[in-house]
Amino acid sequence: MRKLFLPLAAVIILLVSGAAFAQHGDGIKKRRPLPEEYGTVEINNYSEYTGLAPVMYPHWLHRSIYTCRLCHVDIGFAMKAGGTGITAKDNEKGFYCGTCHNGKMIFRGKPVFKACTNAHAPRGWLTPEQARRCDKCHSEGKETVQDYDFYSYTADFPKETFGNGIDWEKAESEGKIQLIDYISGVSARRPDLPIPPDADIIPKLEGMPKVEFSHKKHMDLSGCELCHPEIFSIRKSGDHMSMADNFDGKYCGACHGKVAFPLIECGRCHKSAAFQ
């Protein structure tokens, strides 16, 4: 069985690589991001317009503390970079980043630093301490000192090959991380919903191993609301979905390849000895 799938695996990798190149439009393979860079989002709706460097948002750090659902449903961050239109005044009023970065929320025994103090003031009017606080987030192109270093923070986390090299699912099951899914005054109390059974998604390409989709794994991070109905229609099966769609950022590609493990890690979804 393993010999049968090996040539197919090689073809699949070529097809996947081709689709990945095609999404860039120029057919040129891009530099693979370093582990600490994977999933980082540039937020630049208004930063450069106001004389600040763009915000470089580290998904890996926040992903190790909170569920995806908490940030993208309860707090209201859009799933697409730049889609939220965050402003400094929003943060200062306690919305978006300011939900946690308010100088009051206690995390690991100390207050989370307050974002966007004196947001209305020109940078030249800020105190040196306020300017340094701005630079913690508005850090593109700067050598800034952060509270958490990726490599020391994740040193004992279980590893994998792609993305940022961390098996986050295993890290949670081993108790390395305990994800927060509720913030008082922001989140609504919900009853626990029954978990739908796992689903097999049969690829259109003959001979391609099926996808074993786990509702439980995704519900632990995303709940139901994050995926349904905006990303996946509840009434439709996976028959309409294609890898080209995924590489274009739709369906599974809304998360995988951006923050969750990348789509080139075929064996994580297509279960087969060919990929093991």
Calpha distance 252→250 (Å, rounded): 6
Per-residue pLDDT at 234: 79
Predicted pLDDT of residue 21: 39
Neighbours of 243 (CB within 10 A): 21
Q: Where are the beta strands (DSSP E) in the chain?
A: 41-43, 55-57, 106-107, 110-111, 199-201, 211-213
Task: Name the residue among 238, 181, 188 with its Cα closest to residue 63.
Answer: 181
- 2-31+194-275 architecture in CATH? Alpha-Beta Complex (3.90)
How do the pLDDT tens digits run along the chain, 276 residues long?
444 444 444 444 444 444 443 444 456 777 889 999 999 999 999 999 888 899 999 999 999 999 999 999 999 999 988 899 999 899 999 999 999 999 999 998 999 998 887 655 665 667 787 788 888 899 999 888 888 999 999 999 999 999 999 999 999 999 999 999 999 999 998 888 889 999 888 888 888 899 989 999 999 899 999 999 889 987 766 558 889 999 999 999 999 999 999 998 888 898 864 555
The gap from C-alpha 88 to its chain's centroid, in whole angstroms, comes to 22
221: helix, strand or coil:
helix
Predicted confidence at residue 11, as pLDDT, reads 42
CB 90 within 8 A of CB 177: no
| Strand 110-111, strand 199-201: pairing | unpaired
Give the list of residues 6+ apart from residue 239 with CB closer than 8 angstroms, or none. Answer: none
From CA 238, how far away is CA 250, in angstroms rounded?
A: 12
The yes/no answer on whether domain 41-152 falls in CATH 3.90.920.10 is no
Give the pLDDT of residue 7. Answer: 47
Q: Which residues belong to CATH 3.90.10.10 in the chain? A: 2-31+194-275, 41-152
In the chain, % helix, strand, coil (3-state, to 5) comes to 35, 10, 55
pLDDT at position 58 is 95
- In degrees, to the nearest 5, what angle opens at C-alpha 36 toward C-alphas 70 and 22? 90
State pTM to two decimals: 0.81
